[in-house]
Amino acid sequence: MTVLLGCIADDFTGATDLANNLVRAGMRVVQTIGVPAEPLAAEVDAVVVALKSRTIAPADAVAQSLAALRWLQSQGARQIYFKYCSTFDSTPEGNIGPVTEALMDALGTDFTIATPAFPDNKRTVFKGYLFAGDVLLNESGMQNHPLTPMTDANLVRVLQAQTRRKVGLIDHVAVAQGPDAIGERIAQLRAEGVGIAIVDAVSNDDLLRLGPALAQMPLVTAGSGVAIGLPANFGIAPSFAASALPAASGLRAVVSGSCSLATNRQVQHFVASGRPALAIDPLRIAAGVDVASEALDWAAPLVESGPVLVYSTAEPGAVKSVQGRLGIEEAGAMVERTIAAIARGLVGLGVRQLVVAGGETSGACVQALGIEQMQIGPQIDPGVPWCHAMSDAAEGVGLHIALKSGNFGTDDFFTKAFTVPR
Ligand code: ADP
């Protein structure tokens, strides 16, 4: 079994985003949680190793990325893709520069590209400047990010501050002309001693023109957008077969620990549809009540006849008040633990189709379910595919799971998800 494209993603939901794009371009994809200890569970064209390395110390990010690289190489990966955020989230120390450099050294290559462009998500790069929607990155709100404030939209400058390699630009003039012009520009940059080139792209057509020019590169670094142009290099075209999962069966449930606006609307929509829904109260968890057992007792008789929802989702005012009494982190961790226990308990009751809302909540649930690998299936809404995974809680039977980060999904997501063919 040989993997064609080996991907290293610097966070969990970013990994799913990349995997989703590769599947839509025709590749069969598995996402792993960390560097796997086990062999691959399915035959696939691409693997995305999900790390949590975006904001850790650069030396740790490098070590984890190199471990992922070694594992991907052991699976035969022909090309390596380092995936970061479409807003180029990083600090002046890294980790995009240090990880890119370490991967280049390990792969023995003196040139790669870097571009977070993802036009489907309104991230475009022009003259090396990154736009989020209609404004420059440093006017988009990202300048105030608590961990990775992005105060400069010029990616050549941003990346140059993080790396010893010389950073250059493949600008839109070359990209608009197509793969040959891009190839000529790359040759020119190499001759000038450039090691990493930011690439302009303002449309999917730009990314599709870029794809063929990357065919021989041992390493590509990018957001998830560039992925749409790579499968064709391996002779792969979009197909329904790429997203095929084993047939779904078993009971259905939704757990939600997300308090984002979209999730609040989705919870309201589910409740208004008359389906069974249970709100859990963080203050009762804090008071020592076994809220998870209560929720499972509530769900057991109901889940037999259709999807149930268990949620801690609340309006901003209620969340603030809980956070004020328990502390932000303590409240978050406690709710995550409880929802993860409920997810595991629901699978114990026979749930085999599970929707989880919330990025951090998803991480907690995947961990509680002992999931190490997920095969990526059809998309429910942009960025949210159904996945298939083995879980020790499911007694050796596969489980269908969809992990929805906060603001993704239409209002009817919690009911629509179960109607998507898979
Ligand atoms: P999102 O993807 O919407 O950001 P996350 O799961 O990443 O969702 O984050 C939501 C955080 O809020 C989690 O840590 C979760 O445990 C916490 N949380 C959920 N419900 C409540 C609540 N009612 N009060 C306080 N914190 C909550």
- Pull the structure tokens for residue 370: 């002992």
Residue pair 377/245 in contact by the 8 Å Cβ criterion: yes
Pocket test for ligand 1, best of 13, 254, 258, 355 (most atoms within 8 A of CB): 258
Alpha carbons 389 and 183: distance in angstroms, whole number: 40
Locate the ligand 1 atom nearest the alpha carbon of residue 405 and give its number: 2
Q: Residue 186's CB: how many other CB atoms inside 10 A?
A: 21
Residue 280 pLDDT grade (very low, low, confident, very high; cuts 50, 70, 90) = very high
Locate the ligand 1 atom nearest the alpha carbon of residue 312 and give its number: 20
Query: What's the chain look like in SS3?
Result: CCCCEEEEECCHHHHHHHHHHHHHCCCCEEEEECCCCCCCCCCCCEEEEECCCCCCCHHHHHHHHHHHHHHHHHCCCCEEEEECCCCCCCECCECHHHHHHHHHHHHCCCCEEEECCEHHHCEEEECCEEEECCEEHHHCCHHHCCCCCCCCCEHHHHHHCCCCCEEEEECHHHHHHCHHHHHHHHHHHHHCCEEEEEECECCHHHHHHHHHHCCCCCEEEECCHHHHHCHHHHCCCCCHHHHCCCCCCCEEEEEECCCCHHHHHHHHHHHHCCCCEEECCHHHHHCCCCHHHHHHHHHHHHHHHCCEEEECCCCHHHHHHHHHHHCHHHHHHHHHHHHHHHHHHHHHCCEEEEEEECHHHHHHHHHHCCCCEEEEEEEEECCEEEEEEECHHHCCCEEEEEEECCCCCCCCHHHHHHHCCC
Return the exposure string of 291-318: e unless at least 16 CB atoms fall within 10 Å of the residue's CB, then b: bbeebbeebeebbeeebbbbbbbbeeee
- Centroid of chain to Cα 239: 22
Q: Is the pLDDT of residue 1 over 70?
A: no
pLDDT at 300: 98
Question: Token pair 């226990």 is at which residue?
Answer: 341
**Cβ–ligand 1 contact at 115 (below 6 Å):** no
302-308: average pLDDT: 97
Distance 317 CA to ligand 1 centre (A): 13
- Pull the structure tokens for residue 391: 């879980």
**Cβ–ligand 1 contact at 97 (below 6 Å):** no
- Pull the structure tokens for residue 282: 């963080």
Residue nearest to ligand 1 atom 17, measured at CA: 332
Task: Please enumerate in sequence order all residues whose Cβ is within 8 A of that of 314, keeping only pairs 6 or more positions apart, or say none.
Answer: 259, 264, 279, 322
Distance 207 CA to ligand 1 centre (A): 35
Distance 319 CA to ligand 1 centre (A): 8
Q: What is the pLDDT of residues 81-139, one digit of tens each?
A: 999 999 999 988 899 999 999 999 999 999 999 999 999 989 999 999 999 999 999 99
Q: What is the pLDDT of residues 345-377, one digit of tens each?
A: 999 999 999 999 998 899 899 999 999 999 999
**Cβ–ligand 1 contact at 383 (below 6 Å):** no
Q: Is the pLDDT of residue 292 over 90?
A: yes
Distance 101 CA to ligand 1 centre (A): 35
Locate the ligand 1 atom nearest the alpha carbon of residue 361 and give its number: 6
Residue nearest to ligand 1 atom 3, measured at CA: 406
Would strands 129-132 and 135-136 be described as parallel, antiparallel, or unpaired?
A: antiparallel
One-letter identity of residue 169: L
Q: What's the whole-model pTM score? A: 0.89
Residue pair 220/112 in contact by the 8 Å Cβ criterion: yes
Distance 258 CA to ligand 1 centre (A): 5
Q: What is the pLDDT of residues 369-418, one digit of tens each?
A: 999 999 999 999 988 999 999 999 998 789 999 999 887 899 999 999 99
Pocket test for ligand 1, best of 16, 320, 335 (most atoms within 8 A of CB): 335
Distance 123 CA to ligand 1 centre (A): 26
**Cβ–ligand 1 contact at 377 (below 6 Å):** no
**Cβ–ligand 1 contact at 259 (below 6 Å):** yes
Q: Which residue pairs from 140-149 have beta carbons closer than 8 angstroms and sit at least 24 positions apart in sequence?
A: 140/87, 142/87, 142/89, 145/89, 147/54, 147/55, 147/89, 147/91, 148/54, 148/55, 148/89, 148/90, 148/91
**Cβ–ligand 1 contact at 336 (below 6 Å):** yes
Alpha carbons 352 and 393: distance in angstroms, whole number: 10
119: left (phi over 0), alpha (psi -120 to 50) or beta: alpha
Alpha carbons 139 and 8: distance in angstroms, whole number: 29
Nearest Cα neighbor of 359 from 316, 408, 292 is 408
Domains and CATH numbers, the chain: 5-237 (3.40.50.10840), 244-419 (3.40.980.20)
One-letter identity of residue 75: Q
Alpha carbons 80 and 322: distance in angstroms, whole number: 44
- Residues, the chain, total? 422
Pocket test for ligand 1, best of 310, 326, 360, 366 (most atoms within 8 A of CB): 360
Locate the ligand 1 atom nearest the alpha carbon of residue 260 and give its number: 3
Pocket test for ligand 1, best of 312, 315, 323 (most atoms within 8 A of CB): 312
Alpha carbons 94 and 159: distance in angstroms, whole number: 8
* Torsion, CA 108, CA 111, CA 113, CA 114, rounded to 10: 70
Distance 384 CA to ligand 1 centre (A): 18
Q: Is the pLDDT of residue 141 over 70?
A: yes
56-66: average pLDDT: 96
